[in-house]
Structure 1
Amino acid sequence: MTESEEDTIRLFNDIKVNLFRVPEGAEQTPDFFVETDNQKIFIEVKEINENEEEKGLLSEIDKKERVSGYDSCEIGKRFRSSIQTANKQLKKSCTSNEAGLVIIQDVRHFFTRSCMPQEEIKLAMFGDRVTWLSVNTGKIKADLFAKNKTTTDKKNTTTSAVGLMIKNIQDDSLTLHIYHNPYAKTLLISPVFESTKVFEYRINATKEYDNFEIQ
């Protein structure tokens, strides 16, 4: 069991929601499911670990106590692959209007962990941000979500929402931030989980650049 799966179990114990493990079979299926008063939700948990480049960075820091230089990968790239893979697994079980929730936890070291995870989630879902400026005035002419979308009306519609699980580095407490997918074939019914440890967000525009708003 991964660190993120263990943390998911602990989080749901904290918010007093019964979490059930999906039996493993020949095919890859979601990790868990819950049944609320409103709907059944399948959950796939994804964990972001250091890649080889990031491991090399940490090794350099351990040996030299400094780093010569580091360029992180494009914003949203690591989260994007997690959403795509999770959607395939959710699709195996979400066959009768069940909702699908992807929970992502970034468990990388402080030096390699995302410093703006909400923006990572947003760009992973709706596409890279592209801003057009006027040559003459310098004013913004267009601010758009562009390529590399993972959630559209035709792609990954089994994913009802993407959840970001965050662990407090001081006391190990956990919170879950749920970002609703407006293109989902089955929408999550709010409030998904009634708890002070769970936060929900929705976005109004997915063509022009926009921000999630807390509900």
Structure 2
Amino acid sequence: MTKSELNTIRFFNEIGVSSIRIPECDERTPDFYIKTNKQNIYVEVKEVRDNEAEKELLKEINQNGQTKVHDSPKLGKRFRSLIQRANKQLRNKCKSNDAGLVIIQDVRDFLTRSCTPQEEIKLAMFGDRVSWVSVNSGNIKADVFDKNKTTTEQKNTTISAVGLMLENIQDGNLTLYIYHNPHAKNP
């Protein structure tokens, strides 16, 4: 089991919610199942891990105590692919009124972990942020999301919500932020 899956079990236990582990099989399915009075919720847990470039960066820091310039990937990029993959797994189980929840946890090293994970989730779900500025006044007139959306009326509608799990590095406490998908077929 991954660190994120263990943290998900711990989180649900701490808030008094019983989660049932779905046994692994040939078919890609969600990780957990939660039964509530209102509906069934299928949960797929995803992790953001260090990629090869980040592993090399950490190796360089450990060996030299420093590093050259490091270019971070575009905000939301890693989260987008996790959301898209999770939708496929949830689609195999979510029927009629069942909700699909994706929980994402960034388990990368402190030096490579996202500084703004809440913003990355919003960018991944709703698209890149675009600000329109009035030329005459210099005031921002609108702040909207644009390209690179993973949740639309046509895409990833099995996902009812995306959860961002954060673990406090000092005391290990878990926090789960939930972002509703306004395009979900089952809210």
User: TM-score, structure 2 length as denominator?
Assistant: 0.95
Equivalent residue for 1:97? 97
Corresponding position of 1:59 = 59
**1:66-94 CA distance string (max 9 Å, x none):** 12111211111011111000000000000
Are 1:109 and 2:126 matched, yes or no?
no
Deviates more, 1:83-92 or 1:62-71: 62-71
Letter in 1 for 2:170: Q
Moved more, 31-40 or 133-142: 133-142
Aligned identity (percent) is 65
Q: SS of the counterpart of 2:57?
A: helix
Count the aligned residue pairs: 187
2:158 is matched by which residue type in structure 1? T
Matched residues in 2 for 1:79 and 1:95: separation? 25
Q: Give the equivalent residue in structure 2 for 1:87.
A: 87
What are structure 2's unaligned runs of at least 5 residues?
none
Of the structure 1 ranges 123-132 and 141-150, higher mean CA displacement relative to structure 2 is found in: 141-150
Residue 174, structure 1, aligned to residue 178, structure 2? no
Shift of 1:114: 0.6
> Where do residues 35-184 of structure 1 align in structure 2 (5 Å cutoff)?
35-184=35-184
Instruction: Return the alpha-carbon distance in structure 2 between the equivalents of residues 129 and 175 of structure 1.
Output: 25
2:59 & 2:136 partners in 1: Cα distance? 47
| Deviation of 1:142 (Å) | 4.2
- Any residues of structure 2 matched to 1:177-192 within 5 Å, and which? 177-187=177-187
What CA distance in whole angstroms lies between the structure 1 residues aligned with 2:113 and 2:146?
Answer: 25
Structure 1 counterpart of 2:26: 26
Question: Is 1:7 paired with 2:10?
Answer: no
**Per-residue deviation at 1:15?**
1.1
Q: CA shift at 1:135, angstroms?
A: 4.3
CA shift, 1:144, in A, is 2.4
1:152-196 CA-partner distances (Å, limit 9, x unpaired): 111100000000111111111212111111111111xxxxxxxxx
Give the letter for the 1:5 counterpart. Answer: E
Q: CA RMSD in A?
A: 1.2
What SS does the corresponding residue of 1:114 show, helix, strand or coil? coil
